Amino acid sequence: MKSIDILQHDTPVALNSIAEQVLDCARRHGASGADVNVSRGLGLDVGVRLGEVETLEQQRDRNLDVTVYVGQRKGSASTADFSADAIDSVVSRACGFARHGSEDPCAGLADAELMAKEIGDLSLYHPWAIDVDSAIDTALACESAGREADQRISNSNGASVASYAGESVYANSHGFSHTSVGTRHSVACSLVAGEGGEMQREHWYTTARAAEDMQDVEAVGREAAHRTVARLSPRSIDTGHYPVLFSPSMARGVIQSFVSAISGGALYRRASFLMDSLGEQVFPDFLDIAENPFIPRALSSAAVDSEGVARSARKLIDGGVLTGWVLSSYSARKLGLETTGNAGGVCNLSVTGNEQDFQQLLATMGRGLYVTEMMGSGGNPVTGDYSRGASGFWVEGGEIVHAVEGVSVAGNLADMFRNLVAVGRDTCPTANLLNGSMLVEEMTVASGG
């Protein structure tokens, strides 16, 4: 395998033809409607540890998922076999499941008139010209840079290089069909600092659609080392009420809790603390949260959702006000509304407003907890109550003074949203959620010791 390029190096498979076979077969088996997603992929994953190759995997995936509707009864089945007999078998199983299922007045394909008409190129396919030997060399260089960055690095959990290329076709009995191809590449490093009982682990990674958009591999190793040694000599803190600054990766979890709370499944089950908040002030008036599925080369860009509905760029939060839900066609019907083109989730959410750089955020906080890692399940989706184990750094006088571990942070998500003070400019451009750090005015921080 010279490079991860599915269009040149995989055995040719006419995915569109297979999708058509599935839909024809569904009609023959009596389905009133059907959709199918058929995909294939090539992957390479190399792992090294302490200068030696530890894992080497080359993967070749294929999958076919079909959903059929018999009236308003739904059935689904899947297979990795694309032969004619396997297609007939998987469709037969799906139809059998549907006939034994319960009637659901909201079941069915998305409305035909909502199918995407024009689909532009989002530049999502960038194969990496990397073979096994080059991948091993890259992983070794990453780990070596990390191990040599600081004398306190005492061990390694390894470094890895991964590359994946995939192609998929979604088609349904409305006559809609869409082919997408995409790539995803990553480099990661995990290191250990200290000895005996004074040991800390941390990691860093970079990921992108195109290899040239990733961070320099040696910089990834050095950043992993910096983050690892920074965690040495953690100290306890007093239980109390303090400002809390969430790092970008931890803030991402908070935003994901917000998205879950405004998503159709939680809304029609009446299991969301934000279910009656449309048009209400949810965040401070400086904050916007926008979805833009059309960013070229972004990790979660997609012109259509998983039902073939055209996606759209829009604001979910405008000046702190909740302006829209996140709905599929099914959840929209349950709510008596229209789909927002979000079957399969949101794409490329950006959080903006009152941005500050990291040092400004520390200065604004003054004294409090900077959270870089969290444990536990997080918030209660019905009440918004939030409590998680955490570790990070204590801040005094706007400066980081020592590491902290074994604490918990607690509050209520609705209060956390309203009491947001500022967001950071430290956005990770290769993340699905484009957010920086988030500073919350006050939360309960409890020490475990």
**Alpha-carbon gap, residue 391 to 231, rounded angstroms:** 9
- Show me where the domains of the chain are located: 6-230, 233-449
**Alpha-carbon gap, residue 46 to 197, rounded angstroms:** 31
Other residues' Cβ atoms within 10 Å of the Cβ of residue 322: 22
**Phi, psi of 250, rounded to the nearest 5 degrees:** -80, -35
Count Cβ atoms within 10 A of the Cβ of residue 341 and give its class: 0-12 exposed, 13-18 middle, 19 or more buried. Answer: buried
The answer to whether 10 touches 136, Cβ cutoff 8 Å, is no
Confidence at residue 379, expressed as pLDDT on a 0 to 100 scale:
82
Tokens of 143: 């780990």
Look at residues 93, 46, 97 and name the one whose alpha carbon lies nearest to residue 74: 97
DSSP class of 326 = B
β-strand pairing of 288-291 with 314-318: antiparallel
* The architecture CATH gives domain 6-230: 2-Layer Sandwich (3.30)
**Alpha-carbon gap, residue 307 to 287, rounded angstroms:** 31
Q: Using alpha carbons only, what angle is made at residue 339 by residues 290 and 311, rounded to the nearest 5 degrees?
A: 50
Confidence at residue 104, expressed as pLDDT on a 0 to 100 scale:
96
pLDDT in tens, the chain (449 residues): 455 565 565 555 699 999 999 999 999 999 999 999 999 999 999 999 999 999 999 999 999 999 999 999 999 999 999 999 999 999 999 999 999 999 999 999 999 999 999 899 999 999 999 999 999 999 999 999 999 999 999 999 999 999 999 999 999 999 999 999 999 999 999 999 997 778 999 999 999 999 999 999 999 999 999 999 999 999 989 999 999 999 999 999 999 999 999 999 999 999 999 999 999 999 999 999 999 999 999 999 999 999 999 999 999 999 999 999 999 999 999 999 999 999 999 999 999 998 999 999 999 999 999 999 999 877 899 999 999 999 999 999 999 999 999 999 999 999 999 999 999 999 876 667 889 999 999 999 999 75
Confidence at residue 27, expressed as pLDDT on a 0 to 100 scale:
97
Confidence at residue 1, expressed as pLDDT on a 0 to 100 scale:
45
